[in-house]
Amino acid sequence: MTQIIVLPHVELCPDGAVIDAAPGTSICDALLGSDIEIEHACEKSCACTTCHVVVREGFNSLAAAEDIEEDLLDKAWGLEPNSRLSCQALVGQVPLVIEIPKYTINMVKEGHSKK
Cα Dmax for the chain: 45
Tell me, yes or no, whether 77 lies in a domain: yes
User: Is the pLDDT assigned to residue 111 strictly greater than 50?
Assistant: no
Per the DSSP assignment, residues forming a β-bridge with 13 are: 9
- Domain count for the chain, please give it: 1
Residues 30-35 have a mean pLDDT of 97
Q: Is residue 113 situated within a structural domain?
A: no
Question: Which of 45, 51, 41, 36 shows the shortest CA–CA distance to 84?
Answer: 51
At 106, the pLDDT band (50, 70, 90 cuts) reads low
Q: Examine residue 32 and state whether it is found in any structural domain, yes or no.
A: yes
Q: Is residue 107 part of a domain?
A: no
| Residue 115 pLDDT | 38
Query: Looking at the domain assignment, is residue 114 inside a domain?
Result: no
Asked whether residue 94 is assigned to any structural domain, the reply reads: yes
Domain that residue 17 falls in: 2-99
Chain mean pLDDT for the chain = 91
CATH number (domain holding residue 36) = 3.10.20.30
Q: How confident is the model over 36-50, as pLDDT tens digits? A: 999 998 999 999 999
Nearest to 55 by CA among 98, 92, 93: 98
Query: Whole-structure pTM over 0.85, yes or no?
Result: yes
